[in-house]
Protein backbone atom coordinates (compact mmCIF):
# COMPACT_ATOMS: atom_id res chain seq x y z
CA UNK A 1 0.00 0.00 0.00
CA UNK A 2 1.37 3.40 -1.00
CA UNK A 3 2.02 5.76 1.91
CA UNK A 4 4.40 8.53 0.85
CA UNK A 5 3.00 11.07 -1.67
CA UNK A 6 6.16 10.61 -3.76
CA UNK A 7 4.91 7.09 -4.46
CA UNK A 8 1.67 8.19 -6.10
CA UNK A 9 1.34 12.00 -6.27
CA UNK A 10 4.59 13.93 -6.47
CA UNK A 11 7.60 13.49 -8.74
CA UNK A 12 8.46 12.84 -12.38
CA UNK A 13 9.16 9.41 -13.88
CA UNK A 14 12.66 10.40 -15.01
CA UNK A 15 13.81 11.44 -11.53
CA UNK A 16 12.00 8.67 -9.68
CA UNK A 17 13.65 6.09 -11.92
CA UNK A 18 17.09 7.31 -10.81
CA UNK A 19 16.38 6.71 -7.12
CA UNK A 20 14.35 3.52 -7.34
CA UNK A 21 15.84 0.52 -5.55
CA UNK A 22 16.83 -1.37 -8.71
CA UNK A 23 18.82 1.52 -10.15
CA UNK A 24 20.50 2.17 -6.79
CA UNK A 25 21.52 -1.49 -6.70
CA UNK A 26 22.86 -1.27 -10.24
CA UNK A 27 24.99 1.75 -9.35
CA UNK A 28 26.52 -0.15 -6.44
CA UNK A 29 27.21 -3.07 -8.76
CA UNK A 30 28.81 -0.63 -11.21
CA UNK A 31 31.21 0.44 -8.46
CA UNK A 32 32.01 -3.17 -7.55
CA UNK A 33 32.65 -3.87 -11.23
CA UNK A 34 34.94 -0.84 -11.54
CA UNK A 35 36.85 -2.00 -8.45
CA UNK A 36 37.33 -5.51 -9.85
CA UNK A 37 38.38 -4.14 -13.24
CA UNK A 38 40.94 -1.78 -11.71
CA UNK A 39 42.35 -4.54 -9.50
CA UNK A 40 42.52 -6.92 -12.44
CA UNK A 41 44.43 -4.38 -14.53
CA UNK A 42 46.90 -3.81 -11.70
CA UNK A 43 47.38 -7.53 -11.03
CA UNK A 44 45.88 -7.35 -7.56
CA UNK A 45 43.30 -10.01 -8.41
CA UNK A 46 43.37 -12.50 -11.33
CA UNK A 47 42.27 -10.91 -14.60
CA UNK A 48 39.84 -13.73 -15.35
CA UNK A 49 38.23 -13.27 -11.93
CA UNK A 50 37.92 -9.54 -12.59
CA UNK A 51 36.34 -10.18 -15.98
CA UNK A 52 33.85 -12.60 -14.41
CA UNK A 53 32.89 -10.11 -11.69
CA UNK A 54 32.40 -7.36 -14.28
CA UNK A 55 30.24 -9.61 -16.45
CA UNK A 56 27.96 -10.54 -13.54
CA UNK A 57 27.70 -7.13 -11.86
CA UNK A 58 24.25 -6.46 -13.23
CA UNK A 59 20.70 -6.63 -11.93
CA UNK A 60 20.15 -9.12 -14.74
CA UNK A 61 21.98 -11.54 -12.46
CA UNK A 62 22.05 -9.96 -9.00
CA UNK A 63 18.39 -9.68 -8.12
CA UNK A 64 17.04 -7.15 -5.67
CA UNK A 65 14.88 -9.84 -4.08
CA UNK A 66 17.96 -11.95 -3.30
CA UNK A 67 19.85 -8.98 -1.88
CA UNK A 68 16.91 -8.15 0.38
CA UNK A 69 16.66 -11.78 1.48
CA UNK A 70 20.32 -11.83 2.50
CA UNK A 71 20.01 -8.46 4.23
CA UNK A 72 17.21 -9.76 6.43
CA UNK A 73 19.75 -12.23 7.77
CA UNK A 74 22.93 -10.16 7.79
CA UNK A 75 21.32 -6.78 8.60
CA UNK A 76 23.99 -5.20 6.38
CA UNK A 77 23.10 -3.81 2.95
CA UNK A 78 26.55 -3.81 1.31
CA UNK A 79 27.54 -7.20 2.69
CA UNK A 80 24.30 -8.50 1.18
CA UNK A 81 25.18 -7.10 -2.24
CA UNK A 82 28.69 -8.55 -2.01
CA UNK A 83 27.33 -12.00 -1.18
CA UNK A 84 24.64 -11.85 -3.87
CA UNK A 85 27.21 -10.83 -6.49
CA UNK A 86 29.68 -13.48 -5.35
CA UNK A 87 26.96 -16.13 -5.69
CA UNK A 88 26.56 -15.24 -9.37
CA UNK A 89 30.25 -15.47 -10.21
CA UNK A 90 31.64 -18.71 -11.61
CA UNK A 91 34.72 -20.51 -10.34
CA UNK A 92 36.72 -18.72 -7.68
CA UNK A 93 35.85 -15.23 -8.96
CA UNK A 94 33.34 -14.62 -6.19
CA UNK A 95 36.14 -14.81 -3.65
CA UNK A 96 37.59 -11.57 -5.02
CA UNK A 97 34.45 -9.44 -4.93
CA UNK A 98 34.88 -6.26 -2.84
CA UNK A 99 38.57 -6.92 -2.16
CA UNK A 100 40.21 -3.99 -0.32
CA UNK A 101 37.04 -1.93 -0.12
CA UNK A 102 34.89 -0.80 2.76
CA UNK A 103 31.12 -0.47 2.55
CA UNK A 104 31.12 3.29 2.27
CA UNK A 105 33.48 3.21 -0.70
CA UNK A 106 30.57 1.61 -2.51
CA UNK A 107 27.86 3.78 -0.95
CA UNK A 108 29.53 7.14 -1.47
CA UNK A 109 30.75 6.41 -4.97
CA UNK A 110 27.38 5.02 -6.06
CA UNK A 111 25.66 8.04 -4.51
CA UNK A 112 27.92 10.21 -6.65
CA UNK A 113 26.64 8.38 -9.72
CA UNK A 114 23.02 8.84 -8.62
CA UNK A 115 23.52 12.53 -7.82
CA UNK A 116 25.26 13.05 -11.17
CA UNK A 117 22.27 11.58 -13.00
CA UNK A 118 19.93 13.69 -10.88
CA UNK A 119 21.86 16.88 -11.64
CA UNK A 120 21.52 16.21 -15.36
CA UNK A 121 17.72 16.03 -15.01
CA UNK A 122 17.57 19.08 -12.73
CA UNK A 123 19.87 21.12 -14.93
CA UNK A 124 17.83 20.40 -18.03
CA UNK A 125 14.67 21.68 -16.35
CA UNK A 126 16.45 24.72 -14.95
CA UNK A 127 17.61 25.67 -18.44
CA UNK A 128 14.06 25.21 -19.72
CA UNK A 129 12.67 27.43 -16.96
CA UNK A 130 15.30 30.05 -17.75
CA UNK A 131 14.42 30.01 -21.45
CA UNK A 132 10.70 30.33 -20.74
CA UNK A 133 11.37 33.29 -18.44
CA UNK A 134 13.58 34.94 -21.06
CA UNK A 135 10.78 34.53 -23.60
CA UNK A 136 8.29 36.12 -21.20
CA UNK A 137 10.73 38.95 -20.50
CA UNK A 138 11.15 39.61 -24.21
CA UNK A 139 7.40 39.57 -24.84
CA UNK A 140 6.62 41.81 -21.87
CA UNK A 141 9.55 44.21 -21.73
CA UNK A 142 7.23 47.13 -22.52
CA UNK A 143 4.29 45.82 -20.49
CA UNK A 144 4.19 48.55 -17.84
CA UNK A 145 2.71 47.61 -14.48
CA UNK A 146 2.74 48.86 -10.95
CA UNK A 147 5.69 47.92 -8.80
CA UNK A 148 4.97 47.18 -5.16
CA UNK A 149 7.19 47.52 -2.10
CA UNK A 150 5.96 46.51 1.36
CA UNK A 151 2.79 45.41 -0.44
CA UNK A 152 2.07 49.04 -1.34
CA UNK A 153 2.02 50.71 -4.75
CA UNK A 154 5.50 52.15 -5.31
CA UNK A 155 6.58 53.08 -8.87
CA UNK A 156 5.91 51.80 -12.38
CA UNK A 157 7.96 48.87 -13.56
CA UNK A 158 7.43 46.29 -16.31
CA UNK A 159 6.58 42.64 -16.42
CA UNK A 160 9.72 42.28 -18.48
CA UNK A 161 11.70 43.33 -15.40
CA UNK A 162 9.98 40.69 -13.25
CA UNK A 163 10.64 37.85 -15.66
CA UNK A 164 14.21 38.95 -16.48
CA UNK A 165 14.99 39.18 -12.76
CA UNK A 166 13.87 35.58 -12.25
CA UNK A 167 15.67 34.34 -15.37
CA UNK A 168 18.95 35.80 -14.16
CA UNK A 169 18.45 34.14 -10.78
CA UNK A 170 17.83 30.76 -12.41
CA UNK A 171 21.07 31.20 -14.37
CA UNK A 172 22.95 31.63 -11.10
CA UNK A 173 21.37 28.45 -9.77
CA UNK A 174 22.60 26.54 -12.82
CA UNK A 175 26.10 27.82 -12.12
CA UNK A 176 25.79 26.85 -8.45
CA UNK A 177 24.60 23.38 -9.41
CA UNK A 178 27.55 22.97 -11.79
CA UNK A 179 29.97 24.02 -9.06
CA UNK A 180 28.39 21.69 -6.50
CA UNK A 181 28.55 18.79 -8.98
CA UNK A 182 32.32 19.10 -9.14
CA UNK A 183 32.60 18.70 -5.38
CA UNK A 184 29.89 16.15 -4.59
CA UNK A 185 30.20 13.81 -7.60
CA UNK A 186 33.53 12.23 -6.70
CA UNK A 187 34.85 8.70 -6.55
CA UNK A 188 36.22 7.09 -3.40
CA UNK A 189 37.98 3.76 -2.95
CA UNK A 190 40.11 4.47 0.08
CA UNK A 191 39.21 1.80 2.60
CA UNK A 192 38.12 1.72 6.20
CA UNK A 193 39.72 4.98 7.41
CA UNK A 194 40.78 6.54 4.11
CA UNK A 195 44.38 5.26 4.00
CA UNK A 196 43.89 2.53 1.32
CA UNK A 197 45.87 0.22 3.63
CA UNK A 198 44.15 -3.00 2.53
CA UNK A 199 45.27 -2.40 -1.06
CA UNK A 200 48.92 -1.97 -0.20
CA UNK A 201 51.20 0.11 -2.40
CA UNK A 202 48.67 0.16 -5.22
CA UNK A 203 45.93 1.67 -3.08
CA UNK A 204 45.98 5.14 -4.63
CA UNK A 205 46.22 3.66 -8.12
CA UNK A 206 43.07 1.61 -7.48
CA UNK A 207 41.32 4.64 -6.02
CA UNK A 208 42.17 6.78 -9.04
CA UNK A 209 41.46 4.08 -11.62
CA UNK A 210 38.03 3.23 -10.16
CA UNK A 211 37.08 6.89 -10.38
CA UNK A 212 38.39 7.12 -13.93
CA UNK A 213 36.38 4.07 -15.03
CA UNK A 214 33.23 5.62 -13.58
CA UNK A 215 33.90 9.06 -15.05
CA UNK A 216 34.36 10.69 -11.65
CA UNK A 217 37.11 12.78 -10.13
CA UNK A 218 38.83 10.87 -7.31
CA UNK A 219 38.37 12.55 -3.96
CA UNK A 220 41.65 14.10 -2.84
CA UNK A 221 41.34 12.94 0.77
CA UNK A 222 38.70 11.16 2.82
CA UNK A 223 38.37 9.15 5.99
CA UNK A 224 35.71 6.45 5.77
CA UNK A 225 33.43 8.87 3.93
CA UNK A 226 33.50 11.67 1.44
CA UNK A 227 33.15 14.64 3.74
CA UNK A 228 29.56 15.77 4.09
CA UNK A 229 30.17 19.46 3.54
CA UNK A 230 29.95 18.46 -0.13
CA UNK A 231 26.55 16.82 0.25
CA UNK A 232 25.34 19.68 2.42
CA UNK A 233 26.32 22.11 -0.32
CA UNK A 234 24.32 20.10 -2.85
CA UNK A 235 21.22 20.05 -0.65
CA UNK A 236 21.60 23.78 0.01
CA UNK A 237 21.74 24.44 -3.72
CA UNK A 238 18.50 22.49 -4.15
CA UNK A 239 16.95 24.41 -1.26
CA UNK A 240 18.04 27.68 -2.86
CA UNK A 241 16.50 26.62 -6.17
CA UNK A 242 13.30 25.70 -4.33
CA UNK A 243 13.24 29.12 -2.68
CA UNK A 244 13.42 30.89 -6.04
CA UNK A 245 10.60 28.73 -7.40
CA UNK A 246 8.69 29.54 -4.21
CA UNK A 247 9.28 33.24 -4.84
CA UNK A 248 8.06 33.02 -8.43
CA UNK A 249 4.97 31.03 -7.43
CA UNK A 250 4.24 33.37 -4.51
CA UNK A 251 4.34 36.41 -6.78
CA UNK A 252 1.99 34.75 -9.26
CA UNK A 253 -0.36 33.80 -6.42
CA UNK A 254 -0.39 37.38 -5.16
CA UNK A 255 -0.96 38.79 -8.63
CA UNK A 256 -3.85 36.35 -9.11
CA UNK A 257 -5.69 37.64 -6.03
CA UNK A 258 -9.24 38.71 -6.88
CA UNK A 259 -8.62 42.39 -6.14
CA UNK A 260 -5.40 42.41 -8.24
CA UNK A 261 -5.89 39.73 -10.97
CA UNK A 262 -3.10 40.88 -13.31
CA UNK A 263 -1.71 37.46 -14.18
CA UNK A 264 -2.58 33.94 -13.08
CA UNK A 265 -2.59 30.23 -13.68
CA UNK A 266 -4.55 28.85 -16.58
CA UNK A 267 -7.89 27.41 -15.47
CA UNK A 268 -9.93 24.94 -17.51
CA UNK A 269 -13.58 25.84 -16.81
CA UNK A 270 -14.83 22.76 -18.65
CA UNK A 271 -13.07 20.30 -16.34
CA UNK A 272 -11.28 21.95 -13.47
CA UNK A 273 -12.92 22.48 -10.07
CA UNK A 274 -11.74 25.24 -7.76
CA UNK A 275 -13.66 24.32 -4.62
CA UNK A 276 -15.90 21.52 -3.42
CA UNK A 277 -18.37 24.06 -2.02
CA UNK A 278 -17.76 27.40 -3.80
CA UNK A 279 -18.57 27.00 -7.50
CA UNK A 280 -16.97 30.32 -8.48
CA UNK A 281 -13.46 29.57 -7.19
CA UNK A 282 -10.44 29.43 -9.55
CA UNK A 283 -7.55 28.81 -7.17
CA UNK A 284 -3.79 29.00 -7.95
CA UNK A 285 -3.34 25.41 -6.81
CA UNK A 286 -0.18 24.65 -8.78
CA UNK A 287 1.65 27.71 -7.49
CA UNK A 288 0.48 26.90 -3.97
CA UNK A 289 1.83 23.36 -4.31
CA UNK A 290 5.20 24.75 -5.42
CA UNK A 291 5.32 26.95 -2.32
CA UNK A 292 4.31 24.10 -0.02
CA UNK A 293 6.78 21.54 -1.36
CA UNK A 294 9.57 24.17 -1.32
CA UNK A 295 9.18 24.32 2.47
CA UNK A 296 9.89 20.60 2.72
CA UNK A 297 12.97 20.84 0.50
CA UNK A 298 14.40 23.67 2.59
CA UNK A 299 13.90 21.61 5.74
CA UNK A 300 16.43 19.03 4.50
CA UNK A 301 19.25 21.58 4.87
CA UNK A 302 19.36 21.14 8.64
CA UNK A 303 19.80 17.37 8.41
CA UNK A 304 22.41 17.76 5.65
CA UNK A 305 24.46 20.18 7.75
CA UNK A 306 24.21 17.96 10.81
CA UNK A 307 25.52 15.02 8.77
CA UNK A 308 28.94 16.65 8.49
CA UNK A 309 30.15 16.45 12.14
CA UNK A 310 30.60 12.68 12.58
CA UNK A 311 32.54 10.87 15.30
CA UNK A 312 36.25 10.47 14.54
CA UNK A 313 36.76 8.82 11.14
CA UNK A 314 33.02 8.19 10.78
CA UNK A 315 29.88 7.01 12.51
CA UNK A 316 26.60 5.90 10.97
CA UNK A 317 24.36 8.83 11.89
CA UNK A 318 24.51 10.35 8.39
CA UNK A 319 23.41 7.16 6.64
CA UNK A 320 19.79 6.90 7.74
CA UNK A 321 18.95 10.54 7.07
CA UNK A 322 20.66 10.48 3.66
CA UNK A 323 18.52 7.54 2.58
CA UNK A 324 15.64 10.00 2.96
CA UNK A 325 16.96 13.46 2.13
CA UNK A 326 19.03 12.68 -0.97
CA UNK A 327 16.30 11.03 -3.05
CA UNK A 328 13.50 13.19 -1.70
CA UNK A 329 15.36 16.47 -2.22
CA UNK A 330 16.15 15.51 -5.81
CA UNK A 331 12.67 14.16 -6.58
CA UNK A 332 10.80 17.10 -5.04
CA UNK A 333 13.05 19.79 -6.53
CA UNK A 334 12.64 18.22 -9.95
CA UNK A 335 8.89 18.03 -9.37
CA UNK A 336 8.42 21.71 -8.53
CA UNK A 337 10.63 22.64 -11.48
CA UNK A 338 8.13 20.77 -13.66
CA UNK A 339 5.23 22.55 -11.95
CA UNK A 340 6.92 25.91 -12.48
CA UNK A 341 7.29 25.14 -16.18
CA UNK A 342 3.60 24.22 -16.35
CA UNK A 343 2.59 27.53 -14.72
CA UNK A 344 4.92 29.77 -16.73
CA UNK A 345 4.18 28.16 -20.09
CA UNK A 346 0.45 28.66 -19.56
CA UNK A 347 0.48 32.00 -17.77
CA UNK A 348 -2.62 34.13 -18.35
CA UNK A 349 -2.41 37.96 -18.52
CA UNK A 350 -5.24 40.39 -17.78
CA UNK A 351 -4.15 43.65 -19.51
CA UNK A 352 -7.19 45.67 -18.41
CA UNK A 353 -6.43 44.92 -14.76
CA UNK A 354 -2.75 45.73 -15.21
CA UNK A 355 -3.77 49.14 -16.56
CA UNK A 356 -6.41 49.63 -13.87
CA UNK A 357 -3.99 48.91 -11.05
CA UNK A 358 -1.35 51.14 -12.59
CA UNK A 359 -3.72 54.10 -12.26
CA UNK A 360 -5.46 53.00 -9.06
CA UNK A 361 -3.91 55.68 -6.83
CA UNK A 362 -4.86 58.64 -8.98
CA UNK A 363 -1.30 59.51 -9.83
CA UNK A 364 0.22 59.14 -6.35
CA UNK A 365 2.77 56.70 -7.74
CA UNK A 366 4.21 59.61 -9.75
CA UNK A 367 5.12 61.63 -6.64
CA UNK A 368 8.79 60.71 -6.93
CA UNK A 369 8.92 61.87 -10.53
CA UNK A 370 7.27 65.18 -9.64
CA UNK A 371 9.70 65.73 -6.79
CA UNK A 372 12.69 65.01 -9.04
CA UNK A 373 11.36 67.33 -11.75
CA UNK A 374 10.86 70.20 -9.30
CA UNK A 375 14.40 69.70 -8.01
CA UNK A 376 15.79 69.81 -11.53
CA UNK A 377 13.95 73.11 -12.06
CA UNK A 378 15.43 74.85 -9.07
CA UNK A 379 13.41 73.89 -5.99
CA UNK A 380 15.54 72.37 -3.25
CA UNK A 381 15.26 68.62 -3.00
CA UNK A 382 14.12 68.60 0.64
CA UNK A 383 11.60 71.36 -0.05
CA UNK A 384 10.33 69.56 -3.15
CA UNK A 385 9.89 66.36 -1.14
CA UNK A 386 7.93 68.20 1.56
CA UNK A 387 5.65 70.05 -0.89
CA UNK A 388 4.86 66.91 -2.92
CA UNK A 389 4.27 64.93 0.26
CA UNK A 390 1.76 67.54 1.40
CA UNK A 391 -0.06 67.18 -1.91
CA UNK A 392 -0.04 63.39 -1.61
CA UNK A 393 -1.51 63.52 1.88
CA UNK A 394 -4.20 65.93 0.72
CA UNK A 395 -5.03 63.70 -2.26
CA UNK A 396 -5.33 60.69 0.02
CA UNK A 397 -7.54 62.60 2.45
CA UNK A 398 -9.88 64.23 -0.08
CA UNK A 399 -9.97 61.70 -2.91
CA UNK A 400 -8.39 64.14 -5.35
CA UNK A 401 -5.83 63.03 -7.87
CA UNK A 402 -2.26 64.11 -7.24
CA UNK A 403 -2.45 66.31 -10.31
CA UNK A 404 -5.53 68.10 -8.94
CA UNK A 405 -3.82 68.69 -5.62
CA UNK A 406 -0.69 70.05 -7.31
CA UNK A 407 -2.64 72.41 -9.55
CA UNK A 408 -3.99 74.12 -6.42
CA UNK A 409 -0.49 74.85 -5.06
CA UNK A 410 0.98 78.03 -6.61
CA UNK A 411 4.32 77.52 -4.83
CA UNK A 412 4.68 74.34 -6.92
CA UNK A 413 3.09 75.53 -10.13
CA UNK A 414 5.52 78.45 -10.41
CA UNK A 415 8.08 75.83 -11.46
CA UNK A 416 5.78 74.13 -13.97
CA UNK A 417 3.49 74.75 -16.90
CA UNK A 418 0.00 73.31 -16.45
CA UNK A 419 0.28 71.28 -19.65
CA UNK A 420 3.48 69.60 -18.45
CA UNK A 421 1.71 67.78 -15.66
CA UNK A 422 0.06 65.29 -18.01
CA UNK A 423 3.44 63.99 -19.15
CA UNK A 424 4.86 64.01 -15.62
CA UNK A 425 1.86 62.02 -14.38
CA UNK A 426 2.02 59.42 -17.16
CA UNK A 427 3.29 56.15 -15.57
CA UNK A 428 4.03 54.57 -18.95
CA UNK A 429 6.81 57.10 -19.50
CA UNK A 430 8.44 56.63 -16.09
CA UNK A 431 10.22 53.28 -16.31
CA UNK A 432 13.77 54.59 -16.33
CA UNK A 433 16.24 52.19 -17.91
CA UNK A 434 13.90 49.19 -17.69
CA UNK A 435 13.99 48.47 -21.41
CA UNK A 436 17.78 48.64 -21.50
CA UNK A 437 18.13 46.53 -18.35
CA UNK A 438 15.86 43.80 -19.71
CA UNK A 439 17.70 44.02 -23.02
CA UNK A 440 21.02 43.50 -21.27
CA UNK A 441 19.70 40.45 -19.40
CA UNK A 442 18.40 38.99 -22.65
CA UNK A 443 21.67 39.67 -24.46
CA UNK A 444 23.90 38.30 -21.70
CA UNK A 445 21.69 35.27 -21.16
CA UNK A 446 21.60 34.38 -24.85
CA UNK A 447 25.38 34.71 -24.96
CA UNK A 448 25.69 32.47 -21.90
CA UNK A 449 23.44 29.86 -23.48
CA UNK A 450 25.24 29.98 -26.83
CA UNK A 451 28.59 29.48 -25.12
CA UNK A 452 27.33 26.12 -23.94
CA UNK A 453 26.51 26.82 -20.32
CA UNK A 454 22.91 25.95 -21.04
CA UNK A 455 23.89 22.52 -22.38
CA UNK A 456 23.17 21.17 -25.83
Q: Of 288, 289, 184, which Cα lies nearest the Cα of 237?
A: 184
Check residue 278 and give its pLDDT: 62
Catalytic residue at 275? yes
Catalytic residue at 207? no
Check residue 279 and give its pLDDT: 61
Express each pLDDT in 150-182 by its tens digit.
999 999 999 999 999 999 999 999 999 999 999
**Nearest-angstrom CA–CA distance, 147 and 189:** 55
Check residue 277 and give its pLDDT: 54
Backbone φ and ψ for 140, nearest 5 degrees, come out as -120, 20
**pLDDT confidence of 273, banded at 50, 70, 90?**
low
Q: Of 177, 293, 168, 170, which Cα lies nearest the Cα of 233?
A: 177
Question: Is the domain 101-355 a CATH 3.20.20.70 member?
Answer: no
Distance, CA of 276 to chain centre: 33
Check residue 82 and give its pLDDT: 97
**pLDDT confidence of 272, banded at 50, 70, 90?**
low
Share of the chain above pLDDT 90, in %: 93
Share of the chain above pLDDT 70, in %: 96
Check residue 38 and give its pLDDT: 98
Q: Averaged over 31-36, what is the pLDDT?
A: 98
Q: Averaged over 292-307, what is the pLDDT?
A: 98
Per the residue annotation, which of 4, 17, 76, 275 is the catalytic one?
A: 275
Contact 274, 283 (CB under 8 A): yes
Is residue 274 pLDDT above 70, yes or no? no
Contact 155, 368 (CB under 8 A): yes
- Per-chain mean pLDDT for the chain: 95
Express each pLDDT in 175-205 by its tens digit.
999 999 999 999 999 999 999 999 999 999 9
Is the whole-model pTM more than 0.85?
A: yes
Check residue 39 and give its pLDDT: 98
Is residue 275 pLDDT above 60, yes or no? no
More confident residue, 309 or 2: 309
**Would you state the CATH architecture of domain 15-99?**
Orthogonal Bundle (1.10)
Is residue 276 pLDDT above 60, yes or no? no
Express each pLDDT in 411-447 by its tens digit.
999 999 878 899 999 999 999 999 999 999 999 999 9
Q: Averaged over 350-361, what is the pLDDT?
A: 97
Per the residue annotation, which of 150, 276, 280, 312 is the catalytic one?
A: 150
Check residue 266 and give its pLDDT: 81
At residue 218, the 3 state secondary structure works out as: strand
Check residue 452 and give its pLDDT: 82
Amino acid sequence: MAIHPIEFRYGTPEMKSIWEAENKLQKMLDVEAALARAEGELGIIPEDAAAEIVSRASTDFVKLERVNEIERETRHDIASIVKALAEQCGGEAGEYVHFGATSNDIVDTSNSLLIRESIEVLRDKLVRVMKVLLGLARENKENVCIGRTHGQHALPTTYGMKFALWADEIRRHIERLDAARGRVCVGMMTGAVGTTAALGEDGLKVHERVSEILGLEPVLISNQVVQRDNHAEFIMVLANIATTLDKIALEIRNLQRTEIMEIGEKFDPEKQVGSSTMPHKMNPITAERICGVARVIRSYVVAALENNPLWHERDLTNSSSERIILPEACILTDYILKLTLDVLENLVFYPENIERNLNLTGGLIMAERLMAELTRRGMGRQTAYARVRECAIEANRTGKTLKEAVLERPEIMEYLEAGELDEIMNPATYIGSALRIVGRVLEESEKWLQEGYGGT
